[in-house]
Amino acid sequence: MRQITFPCILRHRISILSGAGYYPTAARLSSFAHTSTTTESQLPPITSEVLLESIKSSQWHFIEHVADKLIPSLVSTTLLSLVKTPDLAFNFVNHIDLRCLDFQTQCLAIAVVSKLSSPKPVTQLLKEVVSTRKNSVRDLFDELVLAHDRLETKSTILFDFMVRCYCQLRMVDEAIECFYLMKEKGYSLRGRIEGARLIISEMKSKGFQPDLQTYNPILSWMCNEGRASEVLREMKGSGLVPDSVSYNILIRGCSNNGDLETAFAYRDEMVKQGMEPTFYTYNTLIHGLFMENKIEAAEILIREIREKGIVLDSVTYNILINGYCQHGDAKKAFALHDEMMTDGIQPTQFTYTSLIYVLCRRNKTREADELFEKVVGKGMKPDLVMMNTLMDGHCATGNMDRAFSLLKEMDRMNIDPDDVTYNCLMRGLCGEGKFEEARELMGEMKRRGIKPDHISYNTLISGYSKKGDTKHAFMVRDEMLSLGFNPTLLTYNALLKGLSKNQEGELAEELLREMKSEGIVPNDSSFCSVIEAMSKSDN
């Protein structure tokens, strides 16, 4: 960064008289910058227009002269005007001294400069902020997220630069923390993997040998891409022996991807290396087996655990109870609940939500209500998931009075409903043929600040279509499109059913063509509806 000729001092606001603004030309601005006898009172009012004109005409002497008088809001406005010319933004920041800006404006400057094709300028700015400020990784990350959102850009490369910055400063722990924050925020997995590679290469180029603490988080990210074996080979090639954390990451990744054979192979390899499987290992494998509907294999594994004298913990019990509940086996689920209590392990909200779910699934809503009242009576506050589960059970059995009374209870308990809550109620009303009430409920949903999703719109479309009211069904579809939602296979199939009911064969054919043009592959239900619509119209 070039040497700044004026010191960074406490800023003060420059009064700008409304209607009497003085906007000098670039030449006159230059004269202000070069005239040593100019006093502060002779300076023109500093506005974003003045700054922009100076920047675009490279009047850097003037910029430097007024640098210590620029308030953050003025600098921010100017930076936002330079989004399409990030090279000028970088020059501007260099001439006013980044250190003199507040944290928020610094991050905005970094976000704008990140739009340059070269990574060097933005990395330079990031290094300066990291080196001169004491903000945590999360503080910097969160502020850059806000700046990124202000620019309304989809690219998340800014955060790759943040990782690069920490790597180049040999702050590996901070680089890894940044990756966790990216994952938490839901930023592109591809970007995280590229950044993971960057961490490894940067460390090696600086003479550092990555250890297991570095590799294990990267191993976790690569598992999600099904590419964990690449990292494992690289780890072993570097002379590193995977530890129990490494194996648990691999086992979890394989289990989540449904590859239980490889997951158990890693478990066996772990044992051969002299490492005992942990609770986490067993819980991951049991969960994977239930997800793949391998109940008997899960029960064999539980017997193996018990034979080793391992006492089940709360997580294991909850996985088992939820697994049996998901498969409709209420008897085994409640038996495990009783065993859990006998072992002195208190059931959690998750435990009771699973049990309420299985009762509702078996249409035992009265028993579900009794269990709910028992839970509340014990002093356990229900959460949103539990309330939605119970409400969905009543909606499915047509007990809409009880469902709406639960909505009132949620308000009383200060549990904010979400889109799932309203989707359950809308589905219940549509099942009763109360389509207009369902539509009104969507209005209430919006008034409460809850955005309808695909399920909300598909529920209404399906309801109207079953009634044969294709006019309103297509109106809802159009509203859905206007809000940026693309119709799904469910949307089209619901509309096709409505057209079939009304014997509108030509429209059904036209909709099928539209469906294909949108890249949605019709299924058997789609074709059956079209054939039925055409045959009815032919008759």
DSSP one-letter string for 298-351: HHHHHHHHHHTTPPP-HHHHHHHHHHHHHTT-HHHHHHHHHHHHHTTPPP-HHH
Q: Are 217 and 175 in contact (CB under 8 A)?
A: no
For residue 240, which of 274, 278, 273, 210 has the smallest C-alpha distance?
A: 210
Q: What tens-digit pLDDT sequence spans the chain (539 residues)?
A: 443 333 333 333 333 223 333 333 333 333 334 444 444 445 557 787 888 888 888 888 888 888 888 888 889 889 998 998 999 999 998 888 788 789 999 999 999 999 998 889 999 999 999 998 888 999 999 999 999 888 887 777 888 888 888 878 878 778 878 877 876 776 654 555 666 666 677 667 766 677 787 778 777 777 766 677 777 887 888 788 889 999 999 999 889 888 899 999 999 999 999 999 988 999 999 999 999 999 999 999 999 999 988 888 999 999 999 999 999 999 999 999 999 999 999 999 999 999 999 999 999 999 999 999 999 999 999 999 999 999 999 999 999 999 999 999 999 999 999 999 999 999 999 999 899 999 999 999 999 999 899 999 999 999 999 888 999 999 999 998 888 888 899 999 999 998 988 888 889 889 999 988 988 998 998 888 888 888 765 55
All residues at 6 or more sequence positions from 284 whose CB lies less than 8 Å from its CB, including other chains: 248, 251, 252, 255, 263
Q: Could you tell me if 138 and 179 lie in one domain?
A: yes
Q: Could you tell me if 197 and 131 lie in one domain?
A: yes
**Does a structural domain hold residue 256?**
no
- Residue ranges making up the domain that contains 135: 102-208
Q: Could you tell me if 44 and 107 lie in one domain?
A: no
**Does a structural domain hold residue 302?**
no
Q: Last residue of some domain: 66, 83, 98?
A: 98
Q: Could you tell me if 137 and 86 lie in one domain?
A: no
Q: Could you tell me if 94 and 5 lie in one domain?
A: yes
Q: Read off the amino acid at residue 514.
A: E
pLDDT at position 476: 92
**Does a structural domain hold residue 197?**
yes
pTM beyond 0.75: the answer is no
pLDDT at position 241: 86
Q: Are 279 and 316 in contact (CB under 8 A)?
A: yes
Q: Last residue of some domain: 160, 183, 208?
A: 208
**Does a structural domain hold residue 525?**
yes
Q: Could you tell me if 91 and 109 lie in one domain?
A: no
pLDDT at position 412: 94
Q: Which residue has the tokens 């648990």?
A: 248
CA distance 229 to 254: 11
CA distance 251 to 257: 10
**Environment class of 247 (CB within 10 Å of its CB; exposed 0-12, middle 13-18, buried 19+):** buried
CA 263 to chain CA centroid, Å, is 27
pLDDT at position 2: 40
Show the tokens assigned to 245: 């954390």
Q: Could you tell me if 84 and 123 lie in one domain?
A: no
Q: Could you tell me if 92 and 127 lie in one domain?
A: no
Structural domains of the chain, count: 3
**Does a structural domain hold residue 382?**
no
pLDDT at position 324: 95
pLDDT at position 536: 61
**Does a structural domain hold residue 255?**
no
Q: Could you tell me if 165 and 198 lie in one domain?
A: yes
**Does a structural domain hold residue 68?**
yes
All residues at 6 or more sequence positions from 108 whose CB lies less than 8 Å from its CB, including other chains: 76, 79, 80, 147, 150
Q: Last residue of some domain: 141, 174, 208?
A: 208
CA distance 45 to 433: 67
Strands (E) across 400-478 are located at none
pLDDT at position 202: 66
Q: Could you tell me if 203 and 106 lie in one domain?
A: yes
**Does a structural domain hold residue 354?**
no
Segment (H or E) for 393? helix 384-396
Q: Could you tell me if 22 and 41 lie in one domain?
A: yes
Q: Could you tell me if 21 and 80 lie in one domain?
A: yes
For residue 179, which of 137, 226, 147, 233 has the smallest C-alpha distance?
A: 137
